[in-house]
Amino acid sequence: MPSGILIIDKPAGWTSMDVCAKVRGIFHEKRVGHGGTLDPMATGVLPVFVGQATRAVEFAENGQKEYVAGLRLGQVTDTQDVTGTTLETRPVTADRVALEALLPRFLGEQEQIPPMYSAVKVGGQKLYDLARKGQVVERKPRRITIYELELLAQESGTDYLLRCRCSKGTYIRTLCHDIGRQLGCGGTLYALRRTMAAGFRLDQAVALEAVQAQGTALLLPTDSLFAEYPALPLTSGLLEKRVRCGNPVTLPGTPDGTYRVYSRDRQFLCLSRAAGGTLTSIKNFFGA
């Protein structure tokens, strides 16, 4: 059965689940998941996990992400992007210098209130379901971190391109809305392209048409998700047996840290943590 990671360049107009459904059909594999939702209007990096590799989805979702976002000043919409209904249009007096001076205020750990048009649940109901009924409810702010935020280009008197590297759970729509509010003219998102997710970059991404044509040849191995961690090959059958049974193993002299653990024949077995010379599995990736 096929197993591995596809780095899809998601097309505009598709939901992330639309992409997963397409991949299920191509590979005839029910186990397909993605590593971080993109709104339909957004394009760019969408890691898609196939078969046994779906065990790694949770690690992809929690990683940093990077975007190139189009900020339009002077417009406020109900969805915080241009797919929504315009609520206000205001004159724009802020210039490029004012925008650049403001951006550093948004760096670092902070609280962000999720938009009404989002999948966040309040009282067991998704916010976008309430929003479509015309309801606006109080939302609890969520802790996010913006690691990098820079102005890339000015495309018109009101339109700017920003690059943002941020934590899981950051709404770029809301960031644009909040920037516009701070500048006093309002702002909305008019374009969004994800350029990095789970450590995978845009130059690794492929179109769905390529997946249709090339199939399993485009699957990356599951351990490529954990390339930042050093490899640790097991040297004996006894150690390998203990790991496969889910037991900790003693490896004196192994520095503390996280490792990609491999069998003697180079099969990726698990992601493990070493502490005090004992290696304990975080997540196993062998088996059916």
In terms of DSSP bridges, do strands 121-122 and 268-275 run parallel, antiparallel, or are they unpaired? unpaired
Per-residue tokens: 99: 């925008």
What are the angstrom distances between the C-alpha of 129 and each of 35, 79, 188, 235? 23, 13, 21, 54
39 counts as catalytic: yes
Write the burial class of residue 151 (CB in 10 Å: 0-12 exposed, 13-18 middle, 19+ buried). middle
What are the angstrom distances between the C-alpha of 101 and each of 94, 106, 149, 151? 11, 11, 11, 10
What contacts 24+ positions apart, CB below 8 Å, involve 123-128? none
Q: Which of 243, 264, 74 is nearest to 160 (CA)?
A: 74
Q: Which of 191, 161, 160, 164 is nearest to 175 (CA)?
A: 164
Number of neighbouring beta carbons within 10 Å of residue 48 = 27
Write the burial class of residue 192 (CB in 10 Å: 0-12 exposed, 13-18 middle, 19+ buried). buried
Catalytic residue (one of 39, 81, 178, 223): 39
- Any idea which residues carry the catalytic annotation? 39
